A and B are shown apart, each in its own frame.
Chain A
Amino acid sequence: MSRKILLVAMFAVLFGVFATSMIELETLFNTYGKTYFLEHGYAETGASNLVTAILLDYRLFDSLFEAGILLIAVSGVIWISKHDVEEKNAKFMIDKYKTPDLFITFARLVYPLMLAFGFYVIINGHISPGGGFQGGAIVATAILILYYIDANKETNIGLIVTVEKILYLLIVLMASISIITQGAFFTNFFNPSADADLKAIYLVLLNVLIGFKVALGLWTIFTAFLKEGR
C-alpha cells in the first residue's frame, strides 16, 4: 500500500512539473524551423507534402536508419523464431476454427481495393499525405488478409528477407548518388534549382523502394509469428 502512495506522489510531482513546462512553452515557442520549411520547402525539394520533404530530403540520413531499424527487427524476429528441434505438433494442431464463408468473400472483395489504396499512398507520397512508410504498412495489411482466407498458405521467408535486404541496399545507394551530382551525401540527386517535376522523380522512386521494403518487412514479421510451431 505504501508503494502505491509513493508512486502516486511521484507521479503527481512529475505531472506538476510537466504541466508547468507546457504552460511556459506557450510563450516561449520558437518558430524558426517551422517558418524555414514553410518558405523554402517546396522550392528546394519539389514536394508539396512538407513531411515527405523533410523525411526524404532534409533528414534523409535519419530515414535510412529508421528503415534500418525495421531491417534489424525483421532479421532478429526471423532468427529467434528459427527452431533447431523440429516442431512436430503441427499434425495435431486441429484448426477447429474455419473462417466463415462470408468473411472470405468480403476479404476477396476488400483485398484488391486495399492493395490499390496502398500503392496510391506510396506513389503519391510527395503530393498528398502518405509516403513510403505509411503506404508500406497499408500494403502489408492488405497482404495479411490473404492469410485469413487460406490459413495454410506457403511462404518462402528466405526469399522475402533476401529481397528486403537488396531493397535496403538500393535505398542506400540511391541516397548516395547525390555525392556524384551534388558533392554532398544524402539529398536529391537533382539540383535544388531544377524543375519540380524532375525532383519528383527522385521522391517517387525513393518512396516506392521504401514502401516495398516496409511491406516486405512487416509481412515477414507476421509470417514468422504465424508459422512458429508449424
Chain B
Amino acid sequence: MVDFFQSLTLIEMTAYALQALLIMIAFAIVIHKNNGTIVILIASFSLVTASLYVINNAPDVAIAEVAIGSAIIPLIYVISISRQREFIVLDKAMDDFIIHDNTFTGVGYILLKRFSDFYHLELNITNDPMYYKDTVSRDQVLTEQTNVDLIITKDPQKEDGYVLKGKASNILMSKLEEMVKDYDNIRLIKFKDRDLGE
C-alpha cells in the first residue's frame, strides 16, 4: 500500500486528490439546504472538473467547462433563485387595508410584512388597475397565468372583511393560512389546480 503511494508522480497525486475533493463537494451539494450555498458549490465543482480535464490532457474541454459551468450557469441560477424570493401581491380592495403612499401602511400591510420577513421573501405590492380587466372569475386565471401570488379583495359576505386568494399548490399559502387564523375579518381561499389528471 505504501509502495503504491510512493510510486505516484506529483501529477497523479494531484489528480487523485482532486477526485477525492470532487466526491466531497458532491456530498456537500446533496446535504446543504440553502440555495445560495449550493450554487457556489456547483461553481466550485465545475472548476475542479475543469482542472481534472487539464490534467487528463483535454484543454479544449476545460476552457468550455470553465466558461459555461463556472460563469454562465451560476449566474443564471442566481437570477432564478432571487426571482423565487419575490412575493407578489395584487391589491384589489382599494381601501385602507393597505395604503399605497410613498411608504405602505395599513393593517394588511403589517400582516404581509410580518409574513414575508419571517420567510425571507421580498414583498412586492401593486394595485395597478391595468393588471386586471374584470372581476371575480378572472382571479383564478390571474394566479395561474401571471406570477401574482396573492390577490386581496373585499369580502362580499362580510362587512369590513377581506378575502385573500392564491393557488393551493403554493406552499406559502398554507403558511399564510396559519397566520391569518387570528384575524376574524380575513378569510383565505386557495384555488385548486384545474389539473387535467381527471
Contact = CB atoms under 8 A, between A and B. Distances in A.
Interface of A: 49, 51-52, 83-89, 91-93, 121, 129-131, 133-134, 137-138, 140-141, 144, 218, 221-222, 225-226, 228-229
Contacts of A131: 60
Residue in B67, B79, B86, B130 whose Cβ sees the most chain A Cβ within 10 Å: B67
A92 B71 contact: no
A93 B123 CA distance: 9
Interface of B: 59-60, 62-64, 67-68, 71-72, 75-76, 79-80, 83, 86, 88, 124-126, 128, 130-131, 142, 145-147
B63 A138 contact: yes
B75 A144 contact: yes
B126 A88 contact: yes
Residue in B59, B60, B80, B142 whose Cβ sees the most chain A Cβ within 10 Å: B60
Nearest to B146: A85
B67 A144 contact: no
B124 A92 contact: yes
A89 B125 CA distance: 8
A121 B147 contact: no
Given A85-B145, A88-B126, A130 B76 contact: no
A120 to B, nearest CB: 11
Given A121-B63, A222-B76, 7 more contacts: A88-B126, A88-B128, A88-B131, A92-B126, A131-B60, A137-B63, A141-B71
A129 B80 CA distance: 33
